[in-house]
Structure 1
Amino acid sequence: MTILTEDFGMRVSVLASSSSGNATYIETPQHKVLVDAGLSGKKLNDLLHSIDRDLKDIDSVFITHEHTDHCRGVGVLARRYPQLTVYANAPTFAALPRSVGELPPDQLRVFDRGAALDLGDLDVESFGVSHDAAAAQFYQFQHDGKRFAIVTDTGYVSDHIEGTIRDADALVMETNHDLEMLREGPYPWSLKQRILGDFGHLSNEDGANAIMDVIGLKTKRIYLGHLSPHNNIKALAHVTVANMLKAQGLAVDHDFKILDTDPAIADPLFTVGA
């Protein structure tokens, strides 16, 4: 991997975000990492190529939890690229589905909930979320004082999470479902209850409320993530969140941007804090 000498900051692209597959790319002059690998190796590489990057240059993957839309491709990546280090907490490693295959033990690093990791020019902080997984955790990344955080796959946003990510320069916040679409949709009642519960997912309104609690003067980009293809629509999530924030006097599209994510199209690379 080429290490650059120019400090261009921390760059991010949400490669894919939905209940069918998730991956986010983060780079600094010294590191190129993924958060989750919830798609096939080929699809991940295609998405990276669309932003002029390549899997062979990835040095780390941070897994949030064992659901396949977050870990589907991690086994293929680890076995194909021996330079790659896989980070997750011990319960998540133990719960990875058999379909992931064997992971090379020397490439695995246990990263506990609530822990911090110093990778030189990239600091990583983990925090637990409330989800029906073994020990789901998400991450905040920091480089040169700029912070980028991801919060999806949680039934609610705790005070601890809010305190951790408050005033981040950029973040991904879950807006998984529209309440009416979910209630009127085809899912069995048991699954609807799971999604609506404390160990499920955030609705558009939940996501908007969480954003209002954590947004600060530094916050410039808010990505709406992990949308359900059955229970939400991109435009509906966007207008719901935007209208709720505007109703509270927040200057949407002036002080900060609300941006959509996609299950199959990578968002353009951006520099955090720029």
Structure 2
Amino acid sequence: MKGKFLKLRISILSSGSAGNTTLIESEHHKVLLDAGLSGKKIANLLAQRGVDIKDIDMVFLSHDHTDHSGGLGVLMRRYSQLNAYANEGTWKYLQESNKIGKIPKEQINIFAPETTKIFDDLEVHSFATSHDAAEPQYYVFCSGGKRFACLTDTGYVSSSVKMQIEAADAYLMEFNYDDMMLRNGPYSWSLKQRILSDVGHLSNEQAVEALGDVVSRETKYIFLAHISQHNNDQLLVKKSALQLFEQRDADVDSDVQFMTTAPMKPSKFIEL
């Protein structure tokens, strides 16, 4: 990458209920979205992509659930250069519940929903989502005119969210479950109801519907994320995603790449 202007470079290091973390690089920053694995595992996943964990300078946390936040405390205590960003509700819950242990106050930063922060060449916009966590939110990362919109762990996609993520160059989008597999699967009815609810997760059909409203000719990559290991499979996910090309009103370029993600298996880098 030396000598080449880097707008955004992205690898989904791990995605799914076993743990979530994503690497996002601009020319001047290397950051993580979520830290839902142990510090050791995150360091190993980064190393697989040629990145030293000591070079990570920020973590942006989407919500308090362990598969997104579990490793954050360890990283903050171990690496003093690391600044962590989350909204007030998420920090309050994590501290009161002691889920991630004692965390250095000087590394805690409040990032309220519907806010934009600028870090040199990296601009980050936050937006509220609908999930059964303290105060869930996701982010759009921008650099050099390129946009990477991230959205998982939400029961539905509101018109407000669609406005904030539309026309991105790349997406991290939840394809959590196939409706029939979930309904006929082994989970208890109470858990099925939670997943199906407005504070649960997105089905393949819901994800395609949302993407159909927001993708544009600018969109080149779509990461198919947070795929359930019990209520979905990658063939169904890809089949659903390809329906985007069949939607009359979806302005999707024919060369858009759909990329599946997996737990503990870093995706290849994409560059925007």
Fold in common (TM above 0.5):
yes
Q: Hey, what does 2:8 align to over in structure 1?
A: 10
CA–CA distance in structure 2, aligned partners of residues 224 and 6 of structure 1: 28
Q: Distance in 1 between matches of 2:227 and 2:190?
A: 19
Contact kept, 8 Å, 1:87 with 1:111, in 2: the verdict is: yes
Residue-by-residue CA offset, 1:77-123 (whole Å, 9 max, x unaligned): 00000000000001101112523111100001000000110101000
Q: Provide the residue aligned with 1:190 in structure 2.
A: 190
- Name the % identity: 48
Distance in 2, matches of 1:215 and 1:254, equals 12
RMSD: 1.5
Shift in Å, 1:240: 1.8
In structure 2, what is the equivalent of residue 131 of structure 1?
131
Name the counterpart of 2:25. 27
Counterpart Cα distance in 2 of 1:98 and 1:268: 35
TM-score by length of 1: 0.94
Pairwise CA distance, 1:20 = 1.8
What is the match of residue 228 of structure 1?
A: 228
Q: Distance in 1 between matches of 2:217 and 2:58?
A: 31
Secondary structure of the structure 2 residue equivalent to 1:21? coil
Q: Secondary structure, in 3 states, of the residue corresponding to 1:70?
A: helix
Match of 1:245 in 2: 244
List aligned pairs for 1:112-123, cutoff 5 A.
112-123=112-123
C-alpha contact (below 8 Å) 1:35/1:63 kept by paired residues:
yes
Corresponding letter in the other structure for 1:245: L
3-state DSSP of counterpart to 2:162: helix
Paired with 2:91 and 2:183, the residues of 1 have a C-alpha distance of 34
1:123–1:142 contact (8 Å) kept in structure 2 = yes
What one-letter code is carried by the residue in structure 2 that aligns with 1:70? H
Q: Gapped runs of 5+ residues in structure 2? A: none
Where structure 1 has 5 or more consecutive residues not aligned to the other structure, the ranges are none
Deviation at 1:246, TM superposition (A): 2.9
Task: Give the drift of 1:264.
Answer: 1.4
1:154 paired residue number = 154
Mapped partners of 1:90, 1:29: distance in 2: 29
Matched residue type, 2:163: G
Report the TM-score when normalising by structure 2. Answer: 0.95
Q: Any conservation in 2 of the 1:6–1:29 contact (CA below 8 Å)?
A: no
1:2-21 CA-partner distances (Å, limit 9, x unpaired) = xx875222101111111221
Map Cα deviations across residues 19-66 of structure 1 (whole Å, 9 max, x no partner). Answer: 221001011111010000001111111111111011111000000000
Kindly indicate whether residue 204 of structure 2 is the aligned counterpart of residue 207 of structure 1: no
Equivalents in 1 of 2:157, 2:18: separation in Å?
Answer: 22
What is aligned with 1:60?
A: 58
- Tell me the CA shift for residue 255 of structure 1: 3.0
Q: Which residue pairs with 2:258 in the alignment?
A: 258
Residues 63-142 of structure 1 mapped to structure 2, 5 A cutoff = 63-96=61-94, 97-142=97-142
Report deviation, 1:186. 1.1
**Number of paired residues?**
268
Counterpart residue identity of residue 186, structure 2: P
2:257 partner letter: K
Please say if 1:218 is aligned against 2:250: no
1:6 and 1:205 mapped to 2: Cα distance? 39
1:247 partner letter = E
Q: How many angstroms does 1:247 deviate by?
A: 2.3
Give the Cα–Cα distance (whole angstroms) in 2 for the partners of residues 264 and 106 of structure 1. 30
| Cα pair 2:217 2:252 within 8 Å, conserved | no
Residue by residue, what CA displacement relative to the aligned partner does 1:144-174 show, whole Å, maximum 9, x if unpaired? 1100010000011111111111110001111
Deviations 1:195-250 (A, max 9, x none): 001100000000011110101010000111111111111121111221x2132156
Secondary structure at the counterpart of residue 99 of structure 1: coil
* Matches of 2:33 and 2:58, distance apart in 1: 9
| Aligned equivalents of 1:246, 1:204: Cα separation in 2 | 15
Contact 1:153 1:200 in 2 (8 A): yes
